[in-house]
Amino acid sequence: MFAALASQPLRQQLRSAEPRMESISDLETLAPKLNPKVGFWDPLSLSSANFWNSGEEATVGWLRHAEIKHGRVAMFAFVGYCVQANGIYWPWKESLDGTTFAQISAAGSPPEQFDALPTLAKVQILFAISLFELFGERSDLMEEQGEKHYMQGGKPGFYPSIKNANVPHPVPLDLYDPFGFAKKSTPEKKARGLLSEINNGRLAMLGIMGFLAEAKVPGSVPALTGIVKPYAGEPMGFFTAADKLPFVDAMAQWDTAGVLPFKY
């Protein structure tokens, strides 16, 4: 049997992997490993929901993947906020129109620096995010690498390799583990690393939202008062009226008028 298995192509062996559907009981088992003092805590009962009538396992998979993904983004955001707030920037031009990173840094706090980005730069960022989301949701890429979609029994947090895939990808490196260091890790080390990543991601999400809250409402986070500079713009607005794009100015006016169900 082992000889026959060894003779199969690696991709075929990977495709035979069984799905790993997670449930609420799995969350309850995982929680003490992440934080033994808090344990399982779900005040909004999200894990008991039934997103898109997809069932408990798919809902839990969606929540697990969303938390890991947002934690990863928050870790980048937290570090980036600290770097930009301290006036650290690249010493070259930011765009082909001659705008430099020094000019962007001089705009003020990190949110003000983002507002100062040229419109084309923001569009490029949005396009890159969309591509990453598209690749990360492609079930065919996951199945080629022995995984399944996270709502169909796949591993939450898994991002497929796009280096050798049949997709438009100008950079010959993967988003995750670009230099292949993690491939040498044992399963036990990877499991411990994932727990650390989740905890660090949770802390980073609290950290970056604390920065934004204090910037928008000075004094809302007493520990950061006087450290984080105030920001008069819209921290959740990707574009501003200065970008002169369709619908952006209208949406800002609706929000100011209280038409939308939320207001910053």
What is the pLDDT, as a whole number, of residue 190? 85
Reported confidence tier of residue 180, pLDDT bands at 50, 70, 90: confident
Q: How many domains, the chain? A: 1
- The single residue listed with the structure tokens 């993967």 is 174
**CA 11 vs CA 6, 146, 175: distances in Å:** 12, 7, 21
Q: 153 is written with which tokens? A: 């029994």
Mean pLDDT over 72-81 rounds to: 96
**Is residue 264 very low, low, confident or very high in pLDDT (cuts 50, 70, 90)?**
very low
Q: What is the pLDDT of residue 7?
A: 39
Percent of the chain with pLDDT over 90: 58
Mean pLDDT over residues 21-39, rounded? Answer: 92
Is 4 a residue whose pLDDT tops 50?
Answer: no
CATH code for position 10: 1.10.3460
| Domain presence at residue 132 | yes
Q: Within a domain: residue 209?
A: yes
C-beta atoms surrounding 73 within 10 Å: 15
Range of the domain at 177: 2-21+57-233
* pTM across the whole model: 0.82
In a domain? residue 49? no
pLDDT: is 262 or 64 the higher one?
64
Residue 215 placed within a domain: yes
- Residue 249 within a domain: no
Whole-number pLDDT of residue 168: 64
Residue 8 covered by a domain? yes
**In sequence order, which residues have a C-beta less than 8 Å from that of residue 142 and are 6 or more positions away?**
148, 149, 154, 158, 160
Check residue 22 and give its pLDDT. Answer: 86
Question: Can you give the pLDDT at residue 9?
Answer: 42
Picking from 198, 123, 134, 220, the residue whose alpha carbon sits closest to that of residue 169 is: 134
Which pLDDT does position 164 carry in this prediction? 64
Q: Is residue 163 part of a domain?
A: yes
